[in-house]
Structure 1
Amino acid sequence: MAYSTVVVMGVSGVGKTTVARALAERLGVPFAEADDFHPPANVAKMSAGTPLTDADREPWLRSLGAWLGEREKEDSGGVMTCSALKRAYRETLRAGAPGVFFLHLEGSRELIEERLGRRTGHFMPPALLASQFADLEPLGAGENGAVLDVQPTPEELVDRAIEVLAAR
């Protein structure tokens, strides 16, 4: 399989990090957690329960696109987590990495709320989930990507992701 850059996307709590880490390991490519690229001011806002604005996100998204673009230039591939909720955000990522593939993990609001309620040690409070669902723009026509329901186990999701990537 050709090496790809992949963004595992979706609202907070869908399992982006779990799936993306396992996918990167299976593919033998670098992994990056988009949250690690946030500047301290963004983390402080989210920790206080304040949703980020598009202006807050723009430099962060450009840095993510640059990381993905470097993986494309090196032909090393790479897997990154990023909510990438709006098409405009995905376009910013694509500007840095034209070949990026978006793997959208989706599940019911009830399931995601339950998962967030069990999660500890993350700066994204469950109270912001509603704003994420409100902002979510599903993958549209012409977007390089696929949607996976999060009901299966992470291992099954990675198997399915590998199948989807191999088929494209």
Structure 2
Amino acid sequence: MRTPHVVVVMGVAGTGKTTIGPLLAARLGVPYAEGDDFHPQANIDKMSAGTPLDDDDRWPWLDAIGGWADARAGLGGVVSCSALKRSYRDRLRAAAPGVVFVHLAGDRALIEDRMAHRQGHFMPTALLDSQFATLQPLQADEAGVVVDVSGSPEAITGRAVTALDALPQPA
């Protein structure tokens, strides 16, 4: 890629955002930021208790991620963020107009299995249904690509790089 994009790796919990994000950043030669690190403690406590966040919980989190992405404009970067609703992606684009999205998508059973086997994460599998119910896939007018999450992290990352290479370069 001639000019690095700022990439938001998005998708429901368990799709591999935290795994693929750093691998993608390394392949692109840009910094990575973990979207969960932008959550205030109150959001983490709420999700840990099995309670889905509402939009009022998410706006400050999205604004913080958008601020990071805007600061990386022209330099490139990768940040993970569920970005499940169009309105959330619109909020990120308002803060950082050049962002592109890599939507990690896959079979619900595969994602649930991966969630069940990960350790040390605050998001319980009980919230997966609410994640899928909230998900609004990328629309044709949104800059981004959909990448299947089956296979190894390296294979998924390779598909993401190939898909991003096909996008128009940022201005």
With the length of structure 2 as denominator, give the TM-score of the two structures: 0.95
The letter for the 2-side match of 1:30 is: P
Match of 1:100 in 2: 99
The letter for the 2-side match of 1:130 is: D
SS in 2 for 1:29: coil
Partners of 1:137 and 1:30 in 2: CA distance:
27
Partners of 1:161 and 1:49 in 2: CA distance:
31
How far off is 1:30 after superposition?
Answer: 0.8
Deviations 1:42-92 (A, max 9, x none): 0110011110000100011011001000000xx210001111000000001
CA RMSD of aligned residues (A): 0.8
The letter for the 1-side match of 2:62 is: L
Match of 1:22 in 2: 23
Match of 2:134 in 1: 135
Partners of 1:133 and 1:96 in 2: CA distance:
25
Partners of 1:154 and 1:18 in 2: CA distance:
7
> Which aligned runs of 4 or more in structure 1 are off by greater than 4 angstroms?
none
Partners of 1:99 and 1:44 in 2: CA distance:
32
SS in 2 for 1:50: coil
Unaligned runs of 5+ in 1: none
Contact 2:50 2:127 in 1 (8 A): yes
Deviations 1:15-43 (A, max 9, x none): 11111100101111010011000001101
Partners of 1:152 and 1:123 in 2: CA distance:
24
Partners of 1:129 and 1:51 in 2: CA distance:
10
Match of 1:42 in 2: 43
Give the number of equivalent residue pairs: 166
